[in-house]
């Protein structure tokens, strides 16, 4: 289906599964970008959350592209609550605090994707689905975290929409694939235009 080596600059199982499900055979290579250091710098510059996500996606794509060649897909997703970036919870207690902050509010998932070739970004896309969390009781938060388990700490919002995390929301506006971390439909459109996959 593809005439060019496609690399996913990510260790994200969710992104890998989305590509594989769409018939895209991508090699996964972790970019080893120090995201924590980058975020400190971005936030010191008071960079918008969407711009932080885009910069991280670009850093990942470019770094892997410089080393491995091919067409490299880099992605990043940041949770934007009232204009502030929130990071992945460090433990279940932190996850509970996240959920208390989300309760009864809407937040955005700033979801960025960048494609790089020969170490140069050639395509960018940003989308920001909006998710509204219903009011959550303390009993629900405790039961939810017990059911979800420690794997929830791998997600920026302490939820996995494709599972029990669906119970958190009263409204979702945006593309399902993007919420899972990859704007798949625009990516497939670009790959068809580029001639990487059959149109």
pLDDT of residue 1: 43
Q: Please indicate, yes or no, if residue 174 is contained in any of the structural domains.
A: yes
Averaged pLDDT, 72-88: 95
Active-site position among 25, 34, 76, 139:
76
pLDDT of residue 4: 65
pLDDT of residue 111: 96
107 or 199, greater pLDDT: 107
Q: Please indicate, yes or no, if residue 70 is contained in any of the structural domains.
A: yes
> How far, in Å, CA of 84 to CA of 61, rounded?
25
Residue-range definition of the domain harbouring residue 84: 6-194
pLDDT of residue 3: 44
Kindly provide the b/e burial profile for residues 82-107, where b requires at least 16 CB atoms within 10 angstroms of the residue's own CB: eeebbeebeebeebbebbeebbeebb
Judge whether 76 counts as a catalytic residue.
yes
Whole-number average pLDDT of the chain:
93
| Band (5; pLDDT cuts 50, 70, 90) | confident
Q: Please indicate, yes or no, if residue 1 is contained in any of the structural domains.
A: no
Q: How many domains does the chain have?
A: 1
Enumerate residues 6+ apart whose C-beta is below 8 A from 61.
9, 31, 72, 73, 74, 114, 115, 116, 121
Q: Please indicate, yes or no, if residue 112 is contained in any of the structural domains.
A: yes
Which domain CATH number covers 89? Answer: 3.90.950.10
Q: Please indicate, yes or no, if residue 44 is contained in any of the structural domains.
A: yes
Between 34-38, 116-120, 193-197, the lowest mean confidence (pLDDT) is in: 193-197
């Amino acid at each position: 289906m593809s005439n060019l080596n496609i690399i996913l600059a990510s260790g994200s199982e969710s992104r890998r599964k989305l590509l594989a499900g769409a018939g895209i055979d991508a090699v996964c290579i972790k970019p080893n970008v120090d995201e924590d250091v980058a975020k400190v710098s971005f936030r010191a510059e008071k960079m918008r959350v969407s711009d932080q996500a885009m910069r991280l996606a670009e850093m990942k794509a470019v770094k892997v592209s410089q080393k491995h060649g091919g067409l490299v897909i880099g992605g990043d997703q940041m949770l934007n609550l009232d204009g502030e970036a929130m990071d992945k919870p460090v433990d279940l207690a932190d996850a509970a605090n996240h959920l208390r902050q989300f309760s009864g509010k809407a937040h955005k998932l700033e979801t960025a994707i960048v494609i790089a070739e020969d170490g140069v970004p050639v395509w960018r896309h940003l989308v920001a689905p909006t998710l509204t969390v219903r009011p959550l009781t303390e009993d629900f938060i405790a039961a939810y975290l017990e059911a979800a388990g420690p794997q929830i700490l791998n997600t920026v919002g302490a939820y996995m929409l494709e599972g029990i995390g669906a119970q958190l929301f009263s409204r979702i506006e945006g593309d399902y694939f993007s919420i899972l971390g990859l704007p798949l439909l625009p990516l497939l459109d670009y790959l068809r235009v580029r001639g990487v996959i059959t149109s």
